[in-house]
Each structure stands twice: as C-alpha cells, then as structure tokens.
C-alpha cells in the first residue's frame, strides 16, 4: 500500500550476492526502484584453480550496502519489508552446529576438485549425471566434487560440518535461523535430482553425508520466516518487520527481471560470468548432452542454462592493464568501462584478426573443459590496446553464439535476446553481440534485473503480486533495441570460425596445464 505519510509502505528488497560484488536494491510495490547500492570485494586465490572468499566479507558487504541504502531512502518503523536473494551458484559454505563458517567459502569458479570430479564420473558416469541432475558432466566446480575434496583433503573440516550450504542458504539461515534452499540454486550441486525434486541418495552415500546435513528445498518465492530481531538490530533496520523469502539463482532472477518468464524466450547476462537462460515448460534434455537443464524460479518450469567466464575477463583486463582509465575514473565522473567502450569502438569488427578465448577459469557448456585457459591469438605489430579491448568484447559474443547454436541443435530457436547485467549497459558491446549472433538484442530500463527479479519473487510470496508472470509482464520496460549490422557479418563469421578452431585445437595444450 502506498499513499499518505501515515500509511504503511510495503517495500520489496532484492539482494544480489554476486561473485565480485554485492548489490542491494529497494523497490516499492509497483516495482519502482527507490534506492540501490553496490559493494565490491576481491576474491582470494591462494593457488592455481583455488578461488575462495571469507564468508564474513559477504556479510560485511551486506551491512555496508544496507547502510548506503538507508542513506538514500529512509526506512520508517511502520514499513514492512519483503526480501529475497539472487545468488551466485555453486559457492559452498560449511558451518558448524553453532552456525559459524568453518573455512572460507569455496567459490563457484574454484576448480581444485578435478580428481574428485573424475572419481564421480568413474562411479556414476556423465550420462547418469545428466539424467539425474541436468548437468551434462561431473565437473570440479560442482559442490558434490568440492565436498568430496573436503572429505579427502580437509578431513577435520568435513567431519565438523553440521550443514553444507550454498550462499543463499547461508544468508537465509543467518537472517532467520531457519534452513531452506530452493531448486534453481541447488540443481547444480549434482546431489539433487531435478525431476523428483529430492536429494540424490546414491550421491549422498558416495560423498559420505546425510540428507539432514543439507537444507530442505522449497520453491522460489516462498516465505521462510521473519528476520530475527537481533539481526535487525545488527543491520540497523528499524522496519516493523522483514519477511525473508526464497529467491533464485542469479541468472534465473535476472531472467525474471527482464521479463523472460515464458517458454521460448532467451536472456543473456554478462556479469562476472556470461550466462544464458531459456525457460521451458518441461524437462528438455539435449541429445548431444551439451546444454545443461536447470530448475527455474517458477514452480514446475525448467530452463536451459549455462555460463562461463564473461565480464570477469573484462574486469581482469581493466584491473591489470588499464591504470590510466581507472585513474581518469577517480578524477572524473567517467567510468573506466565507458572509456574502454570508446577504445573498442575505434577498432573495426573482427579486431583485425585478433581473437581471444575468454576462459580465464575453465569453460562450461557447450564447450566443457575445466582446464581451458585464456588465449590471445593473431596479434601483430599493428595491434594496440584498443584491439585487445575489442577482442574481449567479441570473445564473449562468440561464446554467446556458441550457446545459441547449441540450442538450435536441440530445436530451440531464438529470435531475440534480452540482455541484462553490467555488459548490457554498453551500447558498443550490445551491438557487437547482435552482429555476431545475428539476433535482435534488447535491453530493459531496469539496471537491476536480478534484484528486481527476486523482489518480484518476494512480492509474490507475500501476496503483493498474484503471480510472477503478470508482475514481470507489467513492470519490465524495453530500453534499447539493437539490430544486427549485415556489413559486419563476414568479419564475425571468420572470427567465430577461428574462435571455435582455437578451442578445439588447443585441447591437448589445455590438458597439459594445471
């Protein structure tokens, strides 16, 4: 309800727990953005293939984000808040019986569990993995592999773990004291059966864990509980109440936030990862076993979904090689990314023969290779930094096209793509993706698609909205439309062929790396 000063305001809060940044946004009950805050953090990389984060860093970022949010929009004591979480997948947190993390979170990008993934593959087979879990193969990044690694290499931590949680589960527990998970996030653990919607008993037995060491699985958009008073005091929230609801995998949340809620629609998200989502009304398994199947954030719907390194490659390039651009950002209101856009725009399509593989932390479907690395190919004396910037943009576009091609092989055809995430803010990048894929690219007015998506889920859970379909259809507005430029078709066809050939030809070289 909205209106006069004395009326109670129902606020919707969306929390997006990303790989390298946490974002928190506040909306009114019509979906209007009231305030938003972003808190960045750095990952811990103690060894090759090891990617971790101090769990308290996430929580501190949450508190800092809330403080910033409240400075933009004062929350009144009479206000009622419904909130849900958009979460990175596969990040594993081990807690003891007191709820304390026993070690750093093992982030989704972590590939330490290579031997354990092979062990699971030998035990069950990738075909069974796909049939049961929807994931095309056993990989080091899946939580099942990580748990098996802990059992072998950190036995004390494994034995002391009371609950194995994903990051959304942990935040829900810390805020409410209740354990709960939801299907869109837990389906890529490879210990949850995507068709029965129950934990996979044979896998739990193999890992040596009990079902009661995992949280019960709910649908997205269900009420879990109210935030504990002591947590509200810690966070400085003076609202009448905060109702915590199940949210969704960040990519499913983002899909909802751009209106991708109907069968046959397609959305892509360039954040730290490049992710694609295509909702379907029933489980659809790829006969070529290249495209993963996930559970969606709408009950009894599924989605074709995969991801690989995306915006992380551009951020890495910015951080390592763009000191001048970052210095200008500090001294002006022009972001380093906007400057990189201009540099990329100055280079012709195809980057004059410079091609990049953006797999800085392995590659997932449809080209699965945990040992894949980043590669630059074809640079000569004529190439400048601007060429390298454009090659990064184009590399992610080629990866997007690979996913669209894989879907076409399954009979799922794409007419247009809805774009979200940080990459969607770049008109240059959006045009490049449209040119490479040959598809119309649409961006939406909301810059906070994932936060909006889970805010809508929270609103659905608490009765603000009748259902997600109508809420998304009514609130998502198109901002820009990019049509493919036929003049660039030949250059990108050649670049795409080189991209695919490089990935295939370097397979043996990747295998020899750590």
Per-residue pLDDT, averaged over 72-80, amounts to 93
pLDDT at 377: 98
Q: Which tokens belong to 27?
A: 């909306």
Residue 225 has φ and ψ, to the nearest 5°, of 175, -175
CB of 24 within 8 A of CB of 36?
yes
Q: Indicate whether 76 pLDDT > 60.
A: yes
Per-residue pLDDT, averaged over 311-323, amounts to 94
Q: Which tokens belong to 7?
A: 């009326």
Q: Indicate whether 325 pLDDT > 70.
A: yes
Per-residue pLDDT, averaged over 310-339, amounts to 95
Q: Which of 194, 171, 195 is nearest to 181 (CA)?
A: 171
* Order of strands across the sheet that contains 105-106: 52-53, 105-106, 92-95, 163-166
Q: Which residues of 435-448 are buried (b: 16+ CB within 10 A; e: fewer)?
A: bbbbbebbbbebbb
Predicted confidence (pLDDT) per residue in 178-219, tens digit: 999 999 999 999 999 999 999 999 999 999 999 999 999 999
pLDDT at 7: 46
For residue 289, give the DSSP letter: S
Instruction: For the chain, give the percent of residues with pLDDT over 90.
Output: 80
Q: Indicate whether 4 pLDDT > 50.
A: no
- Which domains does the chain possess? 10-250 (3.30.420.40), 259-417+494-509 (3.30.420.40)
How far, in Å, CA of 72 to CA of 67, rounded?
Answer: 9
57 class by beta-carbon count within 10 Å (0-12 exposed, 13-18 middle, 19+ buried): middle
Rg of the chain over Cα atoms, rounded to whole angstroms, equals 22
Q: Which tokens belong to 234?
A: 């810690």
Band (9; pLDDT cuts 50, 70, 90): low
pLDDT at 276: 87
Predicted confidence (pLDDT) per residue in 379-434, tens digit: 999 999 999 999 999 999 999 999 999 888 888 888 889 998 789 999 999 999 99
Q: Indicate whether 99 pLDDT > 80.
A: yes
How far, in Å, CA of 92 to CA of 99, rounded?
Answer: 14
Per-residue pLDDT, averaged over 312-322, amounts to 95
- Tell me the pTM: 0.83
pLDDT at 251: 87
Considering the chain, what is the average pLDDT of its residues? Answer: 93
Instruction: For the chain, give the percent of residues with pLDDT over 70.
Output: 98
Q: Indicate whether 113 pLDDT > 90.
A: yes
Band (1; pLDDT cuts 50, 70, 90): very low
Per-residue pLDDT, averaged over 446-463, amounts to 92
Sign of CA dihedral 140, 146, 150, 152: negative
121 class by beta-carbon count within 10 Å (0-12 exposed, 13-18 middle, 19+ buried): middle
pLDDT at 306: 81
β-partners of residue 92 are: 106, 166
Q: Indicate whether 35 pLDDT > 50.
A: yes
Predicted confidence (pLDDT) per residue in 213-272, tens digit: 999 999 999 999 999 999 999 999 988 999 999 999 998 999 999 999 988 788 998 877
């Amino acid at each position: 309800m909205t209106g006069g000063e004395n009326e109670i305001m129902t606020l919707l809060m969306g929390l997006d727990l990303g790989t390298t940044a946490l974002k928190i946004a506040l909306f009114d009950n019509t979906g209007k953005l009231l305030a938003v805050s972003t808190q960045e953090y750095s990952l811990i990389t103690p060894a090759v293939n090891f990617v971790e984060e101090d769990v308290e860093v996430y929580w501190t970022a949450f508190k800092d984000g809330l403080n910033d949010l409240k400075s933009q929009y004062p929350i009144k004591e009479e206000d009622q808040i419904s909130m849900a979480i958009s979460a990175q997948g596969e990040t594993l947190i081990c807690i003891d019986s007191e709820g304390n993390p026993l070690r750093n979170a093992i982030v989704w990008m972590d590939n330490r569990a290579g031997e354990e993934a092979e062990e699971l593959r030998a035990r069950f087979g990738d075909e069974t993995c796909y049939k049961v879990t929807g994931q095309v193969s056993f990989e080091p990044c899946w939580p099942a592999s990580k748990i098996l690694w802990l059992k072998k290499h950190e036995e004390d931590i494994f034995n002391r773990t009371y609950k194995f949680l994903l990051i959304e589960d942990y935040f829900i527990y810390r805020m409410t004291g209740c354990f709960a998970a939801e299907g869109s996030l837990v389906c890529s653990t490879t210990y949850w059966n995507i068709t029965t919607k129950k934990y996979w008993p044979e896998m739990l037995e193999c890992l040596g864990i009990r079902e009661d060491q995992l949280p019960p699985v709910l649908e997205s958009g269900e009420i879990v509980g109210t935030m504990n008073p002591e947590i509200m005091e810690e966070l400085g929230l003076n609202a009448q109440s905060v109702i915590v609801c199940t949210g969704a995998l960040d990519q499913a949340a983002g899909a909802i936030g751009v209106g991708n809620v109907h069968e046959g629609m397609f959305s892509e998200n360039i954040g730290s990862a490049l992710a694609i989502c295509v909702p379907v009304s029933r489980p659809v398994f790829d006969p070529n076993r290249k495209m993963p199947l996930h559970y969606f954030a709408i009950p009894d719907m599924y989605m074709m979904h995969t991801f690989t390194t995306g915006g992380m490659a551009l951020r890495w390039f910015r951080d390592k090689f763009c000191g001048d651009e970052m210095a200008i950002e500090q001294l002006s209101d022009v972001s380093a990314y906007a400057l990189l856009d201009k540099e990329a725009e100055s280079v012709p399509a195809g980057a004059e023969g410079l091609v990049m593989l953006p797999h800085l932390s392995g590659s997932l479907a449809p080209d699965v290779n945990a040992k894949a690395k980043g590669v630059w190919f074809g640079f000569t004396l004529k190439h400048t930094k601007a060429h390298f910037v454009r090659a990064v943009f184009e590399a992610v576009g080629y990866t997007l096209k690979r996913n669209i091609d894989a879907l076409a092989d399954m009979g799922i055809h794409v007419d247009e793509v809805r774009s979200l995430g940080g990459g969607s803010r770049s008109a240059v990048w959006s045009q490049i993706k449209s040119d490479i894929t040959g598809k119309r690219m649409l961006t939406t007015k909301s810059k906070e698609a994932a936060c909006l998506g889970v805010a809508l889920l929270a609103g659905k859970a608490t009765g603000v909205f009748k259902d997600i379909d109508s809420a998304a259809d009514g609130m998502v507005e198109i901002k820009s439309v990019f049509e493919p430029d036929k003049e660039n078709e030949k250059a990108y066809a050649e670049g795409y062929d080189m991209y695919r050939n490089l990935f295939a030809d370097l397979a043996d070289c990747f295998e020899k790396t750590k």
